[in-house]
Amino acid sequence: MPYQKFTYHCIECNKDFDPEKTLYLCPECSKPNNQVSPPKGVLKAHYNYKALKEASASFSELKNKGFLELMPFKSLDSFPPLKVGNTPFYSFKNLDGVDLPFTLHLKDDSQNPTFSFKDRASAIVSAYAKEKGYNTIVAASTGNAGSSLAGICASQKQKAIIMVPESAPLAKLTQIMMYGATIVPVKGSYDNAFDLSIMATGEFSWYNRNTAYNPLTIEGKKTVAFEIFEQMNFKLPEKIFVPVGDGVIISGVYKGFEDLLKLSLIDKIPTIVAVQSKGSDNLVSNLDEKQFHVKHSKTIADSISVDIPRNFYLARDFMQKYGGENITVTDEKILSASYLLSKNTGLFAEPAAAAAFAGMLAYKEKSLISENKDVVVLLTGTGLKDLKAVADLIKTPDSIEPNIEQLKKLI
């Protein structure tokens, strides 16, 4: 194979593939895939780490070039004009009036253009599609990935076709349609929408953005690891809490730190904690199983409600290799964490993002976080995406007459 900036590497058979060809899964390892278990043959982007190490590339040098040497496209001009990434990083030593024995850092990815972490993946997919001449990009989504792709494509003058389960929240559907994308409501679950989008990709030769199917989504999501490392003044946190559904975000976080590890810019990878809702724990419940077992998902956290975690095998590989941990939290804990987070920090997170915060709180209650250490919680989307989920937490007072006496009674 001639020299390439990167290659697609199959995590099953370890074969490398030419990135000049559009490829989603390993052609051989994906042959036995079916619709009732996670796909095999997932591909991972491998860069020329040896050459970068020999060139003694520093973090600042890589950043000054937009990390282009670690990105799957050729020119930064292919990147969407919207400002993606470099999201705020807040630190707290007190929560609900109680001093914390550790420093809590919140990475607020609701500040991306379409208000979710998914913009990181959509931006990379859009850039790659632009260079390859694809004008139509399709995705299956419970809402965030779809609204993200729709918004990014609008900025790039590309066409987005979004397939969503009919139960997707109205706010997310509204976003998709306002961006001018074609929305396709699908009867059934996210998994049904996912399967239809794959069939449509082959039928119409569209480019597919689906997480855990398109290997480049992880390349977008890994950028959060680069930012955390820099925003922590080039130190590593003890733990990072990540909400998990398909397993792509957590794989992206791992991939970013692994890139830094392979370049000897760090000497270890922090402990990454996969947080799932108890009502949708198909990834963590299968980590130690020889055969994958699917349970029907039911959780208020729609963004991480997944029956078949499509990136299960890569996420599991990362967690096993680098000592990842996991925890599940109830919907009740997710909602209470969302309220606690909002009233203490001013950050209103959707249930999927609040799940990561709930996981951190559970670790704190169990004294599983060391004193005087740093922990990071990924807040992956705004609470405005799904107001219905928190409706029961809110009670609007009755209207009063405009006089001070009634105001005194109310307050």
pLDDT band at 201 (very low <50, low <70, confident <90, very high): very high
Phi, psi at 229, each rounded to 5°: -60, -45
Closest-CA residue to 271 (of 291, 289, 286, 257)? 257
CATH no. of 119-214 = 3.40.50.1100
For residues 104 and 411, which has the higher predicted lDDT (pLDDT)? 104
pLDDT of 3: 47
Mean pLDDT of the chain: 94
Instruction: Assess whether pLDDT exceeds 90 at residue 397.
Output: no
Domain with CATH 3.40.50.1100 in the chain: 89-114+217-393, 119-214
Q: What per-residue confidence (pLDDT) applies to 2?
A: 42
Q: How confident is the model at residue 70 (pLDDT cuts 50, 70, 90)?
A: very high
Pick the residue with more confidence: 76 or 35? 76
pLDDT at 56: 87
> What one-letter code names the amino acid at 200?
A
Cα distance between residue 90 and residue 397, in whole Å: 32
**Residue type for position 97:** G
In this model, does residue 175 exceed pLDDT 70? yes
Q: Does the pLDDT value for residue 238 go beyond 80?
A: yes
Q: Nearest to residue 311, comparing CAs of 212, 391, 394?
A: 212
Q: How far is CA 189 from CA 20, 164, 186, 302, in A?
A: 33, 8, 8, 11
The answer to whether the beta carbons of residues 273 and 325 sit under 8 Å apart is: yes
Q: Scanning the structure block, which residue is given the tokens 């119409």?
A: 204
The Cα 257–Cα 251 span in angstroms is: 10
Instruction: Identify the residue with better confidence: 169 or 264.
Output: 264
Q: How far is CA 74 from the centre of its chain?
A: 24
Distance CA(400)–CA(406), nearest Å, equals 6
Class of domain 89-114+217-393: alpha beta
- Cα 10 to chain center, whole Å? 21
Report, as an integer, the average pLDDT of 266-276. 98
Per-position DSSP letters for 131-187, written without gaps between them: HHT--EEEEE-SSHHHHHHHHHHHHHT-EEEEEEETTS-HHHHHHHHHTTPEEEEES
pLDDT of residue 264: 97
Report the percent of the chain where pLDDT is more than 90.
82
Per residue in 144-172, pLDDT tens? 899 999 999 999 999 999 999 888 778 77
Q: Phi and psi for 98 in degrees, rounded to 5?
A: -115, 130
Report the SS3 class of residue 89. strand
User: Residues 283, 248: contact at Cβ < 8 Å?
Assistant: no
Query: What would the 3-class secondary structure string for 272-322 be?
Result: EEEEEECCECCCHHHCCCCCCCCCCCCCCCHHHCCCCCCCHHHHHHHHHHC
Q: Could you tell me which residues are beta bridge partners of residue 165?
A: 186
Phi, then psi, of 189 in degrees rounded to 5:
-100, 180
314-361 residue pLDDT tens: 999 999 999 999 999 999 999 999 999 999 999 999 999 999 999 999
- The backbone torsions φ and ψ at residue 112, rounded to the nearest 5 degrees and listed phi first, read -70, 165
pLDDT value, residue 144:
85
Q: Which amino acid is at 353?
A: A
pLDDT at 5 exceeding the cut of 90: no
